[in-house]
Structure 1
């Protein structure tokens, strides 16, 4: 088995930390890989979250080294964090030795490439997305300002270097792989693995009639009302206004319709955006939830609703919520032009992609959604193919085994691994 140093600029106490970092690593540790983990934790996260993650890592045999994330001043704070990650990583390599450095996203990959060059580790660039392009398209870097224009140019050069330096590149979507192969960013000798954002399917069981009735009763929703649900943070990329516009069209058809937001975000911006569209607060349910509470609330829904800005960088994105909604047998109303969304919806028959962001297109999409007929076998097959956590763990396990030293692979073979 392999000795892994895993680097993440995201924290385990971030919303996606448990499902998109720790869940994979626990599975890989259970397969025998020795894993040390460096993350950056936000100071505002509850202390109870840190304690819970500490306990889970210890139980799984994962050696966790949380560092303090700094936010300000811009740019300098990132450089400070990068320096802290490099010092910690280099110390761990000297003290313990590793076979592979697995870097989640571009910032940690800068450290990983250096460890490959100086310490001889194999280097996995788990790209996640087109990071620098996301910063620009998300409005975080204004290319009209010389500093951000220079940063964008520098990071794009670094991204190119990382893609050429990596022993394996991991992306979230087939669309991203096709872009990288098509423009020659990744040498033909470097494998590109596609591993979408997977879901623990067992944690999101299909909705039963009783679960739906209980969830609606708890939320004060009439049993016959149509209920679309949005899951997760609103953030930079999700099109809150357009989602509410679509919901407004739904309310012309079903005045009793209620939109459920399962989110830890501040409700005020959601309520304000709804009010601007003439949607009363009583037509909304906005609830924060622990991970265990999420499926209990989603049981009230008839379908999932989310729109993501269809930009260049979002072709590399794999929305976690899509797999979680599918696991509960909830059809989805979304938009194309994002990751592999179009092909997933087409393969599954479990959702509809809105063609435009206007009332006529919303009405047509709602009609198409209403006309869908459940096909559990087809839905399940697509769900497992794209989003099964065990398949994701197996894919990473295969990469680790392929990169492990020959002595380790031979030892695994002799043990019947």
Structure 2
């Protein structure tokens, strides 16, 4: 039910449901499931596409026990669904669902699509959540090896990750079939033509947009430092933040950086609301901690910002993001987070925003790199080949 699930799961399945019978098993957080209005809306949409949706309760604490319970329940329910609906392919997104998928492959001989979404175990280490060499890390890497060796198709977000995996010693002579399908966006929804763009009003303050999480991977303090630099250039600039679940931390950091609350708009919205809000922004900003695991990452919001015609300020060391921003001239990628680098980036970003045709250029780049239609076609081809 979360916006990420609606953009990176449901949008694909909606397109795939035209040619395939889809059974969707998901884990929902208690707060999301308590939203009866949103739950009813999503149920109606899913049902209209003929998709069978089985939502299970997500358990968070205690971490290892809760995850083990969710996996056990997923295998039980997945087994029932496999038998009832004569499932032939199990498609798992990321590592924990892939434990369930691998069990179903072993039990029922299903074809297994490992949609890895990144080097998850290494992300936990790089994000400071696990010590490298810990039992949890070694267990996750053991499963990663099993996934790669057992999968009938491996889907990666970046070619850089495929290049890395092709050097893994245990895959030599046992190479799986890789498919690169980057993070796609619904470019019909994330489209400036679909939303009235009040930012064309010259009296509207310059709005810098931040969308999504503020924890672990996202360098939120550096984002706020850039905003303060922007305010020195444009005193009445505004920061529009769309976020779920991190508001206390956001307020604490805003206070720490002595940013006037009146200059910040913080809100929660649904997937369509994210698109409407993005189209009112003048530029997007997000910094992601550069690390080994991030060679496999492709931020969802990049395609969505560009689809809305919004140039972005990002950083190097994250998948193909820097190459796209710089080579296509639809944004800037910081090489370091010094004040000098940030100040130079803000000046250049403002110049880019004022360039004639920048909105159209961003849109064209989004269509070329992040088209949902092309992503659906790629997944459909995998299903056809494995089915």
Please say if residues 131 and 137 of structure 2, whose CA atoms lie closer than 8 Å, have aligned partners that are also in contact: no
Moved more, 338-347 or 200-209: 200-209
Mapped to 1, the partners of 2:169 and 2:347 lie a distance apart of 42
Deviation of 1:256 after TM superposition, in Å, equals: 1.4
2:274 counterpart of 1:294:
yes
**Cα gap change, 1:122/1:17 in structure 2, threshold over 3 Å: closer, same or farther?**
same
Indicate the residue corresponding to 1:263 in structure 2: 243
Indicate the residue corresponding to 2:119 in structure 1: 130
Deviation of 1:358 after TM superposition, in Å, equals: 1.8
Mapped to 1, the partners of 2:26 and 2:170 lie a distance apart of 28
2:20 counterpart of 1:33:
yes
2:166 counterpart of 1:181:
yes
Deviation of 1:185 after TM superposition, in Å, equals: 5.6
Indicate the residue corresponding to 2:329 in structure 1: 349
Runs of 4+ that moved beyond 4 A: 184-189, 207-210, 375-378
Mapped to 1, the partners of 2:139 and 2:195 lie a distance apart of 54
Deviations 1:242-291 (A, max 9, x none): 00011111111121111111223443322321222222111211122222
2:56 counterpart of 1:71:
no
**Cα gap change, 1:19/1:210 in structure 2, threshold over 3 Å: closer, same or farther?**
closer
**Cα gap change, 1:209/1:120 in structure 2, threshold over 3 Å: closer, same or farther?**
closer
Please say if residues 188 and 194 of structure 2, whose CA atoms lie closer than 8 Å, have aligned partners that are also in contact: no
Please say if residues 212 and 301 of structure 1, whose CA atoms lie closer than 8 Å, have aligned partners that are also in contact: no
Number of residue pairs aligned between Structure 1 and Structure 2: 381
Indicate the residue corresponding to 1:6 in structure 2: none
Deviation of 1:150 after TM superposition, in Å, equals: 1.0
Query: Where does the alignment leave 5 or more consecutive residues of structure 1 unmatched?
Result: 1-12, 217-221, 405-417
**Cα gap change, 1:382/1:95 in structure 2, threshold over 3 Å: closer, same or farther?**
same
Q: Secondary structure at the match of 2:272?
A: coil
Query: Where does the alignment leave 5 or more consecutive residues of structure 2 unmatched?
Result: none
TM-score, with normalisation over the residues of structure 2?
Answer: 0.92
Mapped to 2, the partners of 1:111 and 1:224 lie a distance apart of 50
**Cα gap change, 1:122/1:208 in structure 2, threshold over 3 Å: closer, same or farther?**
closer
Deviation of 1:141 after TM superposition, in Å, equals: 2.2
2:168 counterpart of 1:168:
no
Indicate the residue corresponding to 1:326 in structure 2: 306
**Cα gap change, 1:61/1:351 in structure 2, threshold over 3 Å: closer, same or farther?**
same
Deviation of 1:231 after TM superposition, in Å, equals: 1.1
> How much is the aligned-residue C-alpha RMSD, in angstroms?
2.2
**Cα gap change, 1:74/1:267 in structure 2, threshold over 3 Å: closer, same or farther?**
closer
Please say if residues 347 and 382 of structure 1, whose CA atoms lie closer than 8 Å, have aligned partners that are also in contact: no
